[in-house]
Amino acid sequence: MNVYDGDRMHELLSPLNYKRVDDPNDAELIILNTCHIREKATEKIYSELGRLKKGFNNPKKNTKIAVAGCVAQAEGEELVRRAPSVDLVFGPLTYHQLPEMIQEITYRKKGKNKALVNIEFPARDKFLSLPERANKKEAVSAFLSVQEGCDKFCTFCVVPYTRGVESSRPAVQIISEAKELINNGAKEIILLGQNVNAWNGEGLSGNRWDFSELIKRLSELNIDRLRFTTSHPKDMNNKLIRCFFNIPKLQPYLHLPIQSGSNKILKAMNRGYSKQQYIEIIEKIRDIRPDTAISGDFIVGFPGETEDDFNDTMDIIKKVRYAHAYSFKYSTRPGTPAASMDLQIDEETKKERLFKLQELITSSMKTFNESFLGRTLEILVEKQGFEENQISGRSPYLQSVHMEGHNSLIGELLNVDILKIRENSLFGTIV
Ligand code: SAH
Ligand code: SF4
């Protein structure tokens, strides 16, 4: 979602003659678009700000530094206190005001309070103020935000505090943005939301649509592939599950985080489902579309997690046979309920558990990828490869696939024989 937001910021600044540069020393404006989800992500911003301050030697340009995203939203004035070189702080819900904010900091008198902090939750929908989608090179696969925010309040998570309450964009906005992306060359659209499958928005004639209806309507556009991420198990209803059968353009890949395999921990996390309910969803999807690749997120070392609880998580990984997964050590986030829970887990135990879990995930991914050796997969070519005369794309299961081929094939759907598997990538030849 930060990639999507970054692109939209760029589109807002283009009419003001801003262009992207590769070296921060050439920049007149630097925007750090930040993530607050774990402590490490947050700390990175402060070290990056320190590095930028040290490395700066172009006073001629009077470079402005802005911090955007969820760290900005959460830290606000504190950010300016800790990093006085910052000129502008704005959150994920106010970035549409970027042109005005730039104007303001440009003409503001230099002085003690020179930084502008804009972390309101504005009443006006930011999407209504954003320009048309710009033509972006290599936009074969394009992101489209359809839903933002979250009301689920998992006890470990900052999202409800930084991205605000759950809100769904109206279908008319989404469909028109999808058409702009298609006109700009997109062949695949990835619908985004913190809980994308909680989307429940205004349909085309003012009635309400659910997420499955939105997918169906989008699949009628001139597009090859559709995907969505991230889904929450609680919102994974039967109608949506049936889309994996009814809508061939919807790719057989579902990112469905469980976080933990222990019912006790799931309850303490306030996730709203049990391990059994999660498995039932996976079984239903695999009944309907047996080849669906499943991916997930895991947190190890949540307060109170015993060896048995951890083993329940290991057990779920074996049962589900994940194609891919992200895993994290529990990170204490100030202000969330889990931060003050008893039985916090020590760093060493978290590290050991993460290591074991990642070994298991890697082996699960390897087994999944190796099952494609010698088979033919349909690949959407997205970009030039790392080597000469090489192109890269994605399989329906979101695997990276590299093959020999000319740039002119970018944007094409090709059948590729899979000949080699290396770590996370597949290699093949065009049929
Ligand atoms: N809405 C999605 C996930 C959004 S956050 C869901 O509920 O499934 C992305 C991922 O970051 C989460 O799935 C979780 O695994 C991880 N995460 C969030 N807060 C965390 C924390 N405090 N410590 C460690 N990982 C965290
Ligand atoms: Fe965070 Fe996801 Fe829970 Fe919402 S549902 S609070 S985004 S982990």
Specify the ligand 2 atom closest to the Cα of 163.
7
* Residue 337: predicted pLDDT: 97
How many domains, the chain?
A: 3
Q: Residue 197 CA: which ligand is closest? A: 1
Atom 1 in ligand 2: which residue has the minimum CA distance? 157
* Residue 26: predicted pLDDT: 86
Centre a 10 Å sphere on the Cβ of residue 238 and count the other Cβ atoms it contains. 10
How much helix, strand and coil, in percent to the nearest 5, is found in the chain?
Answer: 40, 20, 35
CATH number of the domain within which 389 lies: 2.40.50.140
- List the domain range (segments joined by +) for residue 42: 2-118
Within this chain, do residues 8 and 90 fall inside the same structural domain, yes or no? yes
What does each C-alpha distance from 260 to 193, 306, 349, 357 come to in angstroms? 21, 12, 16, 11
Per-residue pLDDT, averaged over 179-187, amounts to 94
* Residue 250: predicted pLDDT: 98
Q: Check pocket membership of 303 for ligand 1, CB cut-off 6 A.
A: no
- Among 66, 86, 118, the domain-final residue is 118
Q: How confident is the model at residue 132 (pLDDT cuts 50, 70, 90)?
A: confident
Residue 267 in domain: no
Residue 268 in domain: no
* Residue 62: predicted pLDDT: 77
How far, in Å, is the centroid of ligand 1 from the Cα of 108? 39
How far, in Å, is the centroid of ligand 2 from the Cα of 125? 22
Which long-range contacts (C-beta less than 8 Å, at least 24 apart) are formed by 42-47?
42/71, 42/74, 42/75, 45/71, 46/82, 46/83
> What's the pTM?
0.94
Within this chain, do residues 204 and 238 fall inside the same structural domain, yes or no? yes
- Among 225, 251, 277, the domain-final residue is 251
DSSP assignment letter at 134: P
* Residue 424: predicted pLDDT: 84
Residue 53 has pLDDT above 80, yes or no: no
Phi, psi of 74 (to 5 degrees): -80, -35
Chain segment 12-23, per-residue pLDDT in tens? 999 999 999 988
Specify the ligand 1 atom closest to the Cα of 331.
23
Specify the ligand 2 atom closest to the Cα of 150.
4
Chain segment 274-315, per-residue pLDDT in tens? 999 999 999 999 999 999 999 999 999 999 999 999 999 999
Mean pLDDT of the chain: 93
